[in-house]
Chains A and B, each alone.
Chain A
Amino acid sequence: MKYLSEYRDPKLARALVAEIKSTATRRWVLMEVCGGQTHTIVKQGLDELLGDVVEMVHGPGCPVCVTPLEQIDKALALAARPDVIFTSFGDMLRVPGSDCDLLQIRARGGNVRIVYSPLDALELARKTPDKQVVFFAVGFETTAPANAMAVWRAYELGVKNFSVLVSHVTVPPAMTALLDAPDNRVQAFLAAGHVCTIMGWTEYEPIAAKYKVPIIVTGFEPLDILEGMLLAVRQLEEGRHEVENQYVRSVRRDGNQPAQDLVSRVFELVDRNWRGIGPIPRSGLGVRPEFAEFDAERRFAVDGIHTEEPTICRAGDVLRGVLKPFDCPAFGTMCTPERPLGAPMVSSEGACAAYYNYGRFRSAV
């Protein structure tokens, strides 16, 4: 595959691994922010290759993992309504709510469909005027522009049967919350390349300066991640703490201005609960009052749903990197990939699911 295989070259990857090993004089704790990066790390076994010099903590950048239980429960309530077609990205369908998941709602008769774009959901709304089409707008700054675009187009076209259930979150407040925690162990970040493609990296400069942490804007292919690790380890070894851009083929310092404009036209900063971490002030995006008619929470009055996380699940400590998944009392017994208690066990690259599989392998050999 042109433009992909170049970034997966095994020889170059092995050379980078060797260089990271020879650069590090001790073991450093790095956090990759984005779930897509976690996916590559786990899929390629990068953490195992570098385990003696780098400890990778899988960060909170997986929308599947951090979408709070109460938003999932609202999604389930909406999807169960006979007048609603509920649309979502695929991997949200298995995320457990308080009672069940979206796949089970579908089995009970709910109309739940996987779409690849919020604009497909909008198109579905225009084709089925007798139904209310709701799109589950989750994710970070990366997915926000397309979701804002869907709302904006629905507004322009006067579509009356389309709305979004929003659970958007933003990266910088989560990084700050992690760094403010007294038990924080993370010494450098691989920032999410796609988030920065939209937002640029100016927001990260004050964080790197204030907390004295290197922040490397990093891509998603094996060579991207290894190079990001190398840049982070170099900075740590040299005592520097700067924002550095590994993902130069995609990211500019100021990001994508039209996309940012669209997002701030439709969305505003709101307080947001993070699954496993708790409330973080001004860490989420919500629909602006001018577009209230496209906000599913207001249209269907589900904003009264409030739920508690299961107390036994320590997903928050895992996401913050202070607890290894196998030190959680529920790990592998009450909580497995088939029967997840917390979101990091749901998707295969979730920190807990990754350790579950990896641990089974280590104990078997």
Chain B
Amino acid sequence: MTIACPIPAVATERIQLGHGSGGKMSAALLRDRFLPYFKNDILAQLGDAAVVDVGGQSLAISTDTFVVQPLEFPGGNIGSLAVHGTVNDLAMMGARPRWLSAGFVLEEGLSLDVLDRIVRAMAEASRAAGVLLVTGDTKVVERGKADGIFINTTGVGVRAPDFAPGPGRARAGDAVIVSGPIGCHGIAIMSAREGLAFEAEIVSDSAALTPLVERLRDRVGDAVHTLRDPTRGGLASALNEIAAAAGIGVVLAEETLPIPGPVAAACEMLGFDPLYVANEGVLVAFVAESQADAAVEALRGHPLGRNAARIGRAVTAHPGMVILQTAIGGNRVVDMLPGDQLPRIC
């Protein structure tokens, strides 16, 4: 019997928006189209940042490109985001961010007022995060060839010898902790983009997470096994990646998830699941159980982490899989999405 399959594979002949979603399509793009050409042990770690040794000093390097629309949104703009995104990737590897580069692709016609506001926000964010912008580049493209402004930032940070969180270090028994409410950034952007008005304005959480990481390092040190900032793809994708990298299962307790009322309401209306909505100022930590309460307390001591909460634990069962225990007592698999989250009809 020959079976004619009319459905093409997800890997198609052209780039789709889903390839940028942070879900399975993004992972496949990286695995199939990039990694085969750049095989090396450092890249193979696939952490938020690469870790390299230079003369006995451990450095973290990370790069990120920012293409957000609208350029300015409640709680920040593309400039502050470009600093926070890269600084946070370094911090998640336990590094103190030190230096940044920035590349700008500017579209013909971009208002210089807007550019000024973006650059000012970058400067303020850099100062607050304790990094120096030490090199940069600008290019201008014809109208229609870019969406106002694209920014790439690359950051270098220095790692302390006794603090080395990484995605593969999470282990069964660890407590899973988030530093604050989830879903704010993605919903803030979506509301601004679509002109949606909700009862309460939802503000992006975009922020440098370095103060939280410093507190964790000072209070509980190497009991912090893994740190991750759940940006695109949201908390669900970040936890799936950690579960896969560390070969552990993750169990979440639904009633402990810090989902702000306005975010929950917006998701309800739009047909989204807040677990998959992007964050830019939240970290998720896997911490040895014995130090978990101390870690939560350390996070709560800083305004950014005042709503820090335990949301679950790592287990040996169902490795690579994230399970949510619903408030009613049921279980469901929180899988990685293939591509972008699509609003549901019913």
Contact = CB atoms under 8 A, between A and B. Distances in A.
B3 A4 contact: no
Interface stretch (B75-83, B179-187, B212-220, B326-334): B326-334
Nearest to A16: B328
A259 interface: no
Contacts of A248: none
Interface of B: 3-10, 12, 14-18, 24, 249, 255, 261, 264-265, 268, 270-271, 317-319, 321, 323, 326-333, 335, 338-339, 342-346
A99 B330 CA distance: 38
Contact of B328 (A46, A104, A107, A142): A46
Contacts of B333: 357-358, 360-361
A10 B343 contact: no
A107 B15 contact: yes
B339 A45 contact: no
Interface in A39-55: 39, 42-46, 48-49
A347 B341 CA distance: 11
27 contacts: A13-B327, A13-B328, A14-B328, A14-B329, A44-B328, A48-B331, A49-B329, A49-B330, A90-B271, A91-B343, A92-B345, A96-B6, A104-B14, A107-B14, A108-B14, A139-B346, A143-B345, A312-B3, A334-B3, A338-B338, A339-B9, A339-B10, A347-B344, A348-B335, A357-B335, A364-B249, A364-B318
B343 A44 contact: no
Q: Which has the most chain B C-beta neighbours within 10 Å: A10, A222, A334, A338?
A: A338
Contacts of A8: 327
A45 B332 contact: yes
A194 interface: yes
A138 interface: yes
B330 A338 contact: no
Given A36-B346, A108-B14, A357-B335, A222 B6 contact: no
A357 B332 contact: yes
Contacts of B16: 103-104, 106-107
A206 B318 CA distance: 48
A103 B345 contact: no
A364 B321 contact: yes
Given A63-B345, A361-B333, A338 B10 contact: yes
B17 A103 contact: yes
A157 interface: no
A365 B345 contact: no
Contacts, number: 144
A311 to B, nearest CB: 8
Give the interface centre of B9, B24, B329 by most chain A CB atoms within 10 Å. B329
Nearest to A120: B194
Nearest to B269: A116
Interface in A96-111: 96, 98-100, 103-104, 106-108
A34 B125 CA distance: 48
B346 A63 contact: yes
B343 A114 contact: yes
Contacts of A338: 9-10, 24, 338
B15 A45 contact: no
Interface residues of A, number: 62
A123 B170 CA distance: 51
Interface in A1-19: 1, 4, 8, 10, 13-14, 17
A49 to B, nearest CB: 5
A10 B302 CA distance: 32
Chain B CB within 10 Å — which of A39, A44, A334 has the most? A44
Which of A63, A348, A360 is the most central at the interface, judged by chain B CB atoms within 10 Å of its CB?
A348
Contacts of B7: 96, 310, 339-341
A219 to B, nearest CB: 13
Contact of B344 (A39, A140, A143, A194): A39
A90 B329 contact: no
B14 A99 contact: no
A277 B342 CA distance: 25
Contacts of A92: 345
Given A96-B7, A357-B333, A17 B328 contact: yes
Contacts of B343: 89-91, 114, 116
Contacts of B330: 44-46, 48-49
A94 interface: yes
A21 to B, nearest CB: 13
Contact of B326 (A43, A94, A337): A43
Contacts of B317: 364-365
A171 interface: no
Interface centre among A39, A43, A194, A334 (most CB of B within 10 A): A43
Contacts of A214: none
Contact of B319 (A44, A103, A348, A364): A364
Nearest to B15: A107
A92 B327 CA distance: 30
A134 to B, nearest CB: 17
B323 A10 contact: no
A23 to B, nearest CB: 18
Interface string A303-338: 000000010100000000000000000000010011
Given A62-B346, A310-B3, 9 more contacts: A10-B328, A44-B326, A90-B343, A91-B345, A99-B6, A310-B6, A312-B5, A339-B7, A341-B5
A45 B346 contact: no
A361 B8 contact: no
B15 A337 contact: no
Contacts of B335: 337, 348, 357
